[in-house]
Chain A
Amino acid sequence: SAVISQKPSRDICQRGTSLTIQCQVDSQVTMMFWYRQQPGQSLTLIATANQGSEATYESGFVIDKFPISRPNLTFSTLTVSNMSPEDSSIYLCSTDRGNTEAFFGQGTRLTVV
């Protein structure tokens, strides 16, 4: 299995500011994924991050709003930029082992006020 440490676990931010969420994996992984989960809802994929290349964003998500870094095979960050209350959500990073089970970070509960 893979262990993913995600931080911060929660934050309350002012609108117009940005927050960077970090995920550290205990082993090297090829793909990392960033999801958003509204309370009581399912997981929506934001983007897929490969090491050494630009992230691939899903429909409705853009790089200017959610820049992602993937500097090496064990680490990734997601920034939520110019936040508004609509960005309040839980953000989760995950990885998998060759398209088998996915391992998730503990999640970041973001509240924008």
Chain B
Amino acid sequence: GAGVSQTPSNKVTEKGKYVELRCDPISGHTALYWYRQSLGQGPEFLIYFQGTGAADDSGLPNDRFFAVRPEGSVSTLKIQRTERGDSAVYLCASSDPGQGFPGYTFGSGTRLTVV
């Protein structure tokens, strides 16, 4: 597609529930990143995919968070047993490393609110 698409744009869930956040990157971009951003803060790294594999998942806060990218395009971030502290904007970005460290293109994010 023309840009990075994230769905849903807003998600309200109850504490303890499971949520899935979807990211559809720019066509042909092999690198995909998940970040989360709290109010007034910079984006915080969660996980990076190169193709289908997670090249770096060092930012995932705990084992309640998991992400997949089974066909090397769309990615899903999964959060189990949500907690109020998980509330944030979850940003997805993609890039094409073949261009030599290009900038990221970010999606508009999913605003997750855990009540």
Q: Do A and B bind each other?
A: no
Interface, chain A (partner B; CB < 8 A): none
